[in-house]
Structure 1
Amino acid sequence: MAHVNDVAAYILARIGPMTAMKLQKLCYYAYGYHLAWEGRRLFPERFEAWANGPVSPDLYARHRDRFELDDGQITGDPDVLDDGERESVDIVLSNLGGLSAHDLSTMTHQEPPWINARTRARVGPLDRCDETIDDEEIYTFFDALVAADGRQA
């Protein structure tokens, strides 16, 4: 199984420079869709419901204090992703990779996994929050999207 830094390194290698926030959101969407499509997690690391949307603290620790990221700036091994993992990430990048960090963040703010985690934590829209986004809620949400739209992200 890959780790979040491996997936992040793969994304940066595939589509090049982007903001740290966009990278976080693409990792989240890849994780969610992969969970729905394959019935297994893309990586073992979790996401928390931060103010700007889902964030993997493990990935954040690798890019802290950097706004823009480029290929090679996240230590990870893109080659450890198996065919199914690469396919999931590639579909997400194909469909969501052209969106801005702001667009992706706005999308997550309208989706139950992030909303429910923030509600459980009883925090306001801009408050700091480290509530974990539950895998079961991620699966339920993304599985419903897949059922409605087919395999496309």
Structure 2
Amino acid sequence: MANVFDAARYILLKTGEISTWKLQKLCYYAQAWTLAWTGKPLFPEDFEAWRNGPVCRPLFARHKGMYSVTEDFLPDGNIDALTADEKDSIDTVLSAYGDMEPYQLRAQTHAETPWKAARGSRDEMAFSDSVISKEAIGAYYGAL
């Protein structure tokens, strides 16, 4: 199975330089729609319901302190770990979300049930490291 770094590197190969906010949201949507379409995760890492939307902590640890990144940011990301179908799924996500600005992606994830449910009654700007379960993600996007 691929990991989040493999998927992120593939995204960066396709998009070129993007903000770390946008990379996080595109990885989230790649995971979400892969779960919806196949019932299986694209990668094993989880997303947490942070105040600025879903964040994958291992990916965040890599880009912490950076505003934007390029493909070279993840030299150990192995795009060959992704199957042709997984690459097609990511390409479809990029077609749907790739032209959106980071703040638009943030607003969209904030309006969707998986992020809101994981945060519970917390204020939108309150700290949260609650995991957004893969089951909740798959169920929500699978029903759209």
Q: Same fold (TM over 0.5)?
A: yes
Determine if contact 1:20/1:69 at 8 Å carries over to the other structure.
yes
More moved, 16-25 vs 133-142? 133-142
Matching of residue 43 in structure 1 with residue 43 in structure 2? yes
Structure 1: unaligned runs, 5 residues or longer: 146-153
User: Once the two structures are superposed, what CA deviation does each residue of 1:27-53 show, in whole Å capped at 9, x if it has no partner?
Assistant: 000000000111100000000000000
Structure 1 segments, 4+ long, off by >2 Å, are none
Q: CA deviation at 1:22?
A: 0.2
Equivalences, count? 143
Q: CA deviation at 1:74?
A: 2.1
TM-score w.r.t. structure 2 length?
A: 0.96
TM-score scaled by length of structure 1: 0.91
* Residue of structure 2 in register with 1:6 after alignment: 6
| 1:24 correspondence with 2:27 | no
Q: Secondary structure at the match of 2:33?
A: helix
1:93 aligns with 2:88: no
Q: Show the counterpart of 1:150.
A: none
Q: Which residue matches 2:141?
A: 142
Trace 1:73-92 onto structure 2 (pairs within 5 A). 73-75=73-75, 76-92=77-93
Match of 2:111 in 1: 110
Amino acid at match of 1:83: A
